[in-house]
């Protein structure tokens, strides 16, 4: 993944550098997600895959965290 600081044009639009468009495969659409004080721009299919892959691990960590288990031991 890459990050880049960009400016708005006169119409308030963000120009995504071409190397980032190619890297993120944004030719057929994009998804914009606000995160704290920045935005993330994703290929919608890649974002769905990311959620499918990591949502289970997030649920497992949350379950362990709120159950009182010691997360540092891995048990």
pLDDT digits (tens, 9 = 90+) for 27-57: 889 999 998 888 899 999 999 998 888 777 7
Look at residue 67 and give its three-state secondary structure: helix
* C-beta of residue 30 within 8 angstroms of C-beta of residue 44: yes
Confidence of residue 68 (pLDDT cuts 50, 70, 90): confident
Would you call 11 helix, strand, or coil by DSSP?
Answer: coil
Q: Which residues of 24-38 are buried (b: 16+ CB within 10 A; e: fewer)?
A: bebeeeeeeeeeeee
Please tell me whether residue 34 adopts helix, strand or coil conformation: strand
Confidence of residue 17 (pLDDT cuts 50, 70, 90): confident
Distance, in Å, from the CA atom of 73 to the CA atom of 39, rounded to the nearest integer, reads: 34
Give the pLDDT confidence score for residue 72 in this predicted structure: 64
pLDDT band for 74, please (50, 70, 90 cuts): low
């Amino acid at each position: 993944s890459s990050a880049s600081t960009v400016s708005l044009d006169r119409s308030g639009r963000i120009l995504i550098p071409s190397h980032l468009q190619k890297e993120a495969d944004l030719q057929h659409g994009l998804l914009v997600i606000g995160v704290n004080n920045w935005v993330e721009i994703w290929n919608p299919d890649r974002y769905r895959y990311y959620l499918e892959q990591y949502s289970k691990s997030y649920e497992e960590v949350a379950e362990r965290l709120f159950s009182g288990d010691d997360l540092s031991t891995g048990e």
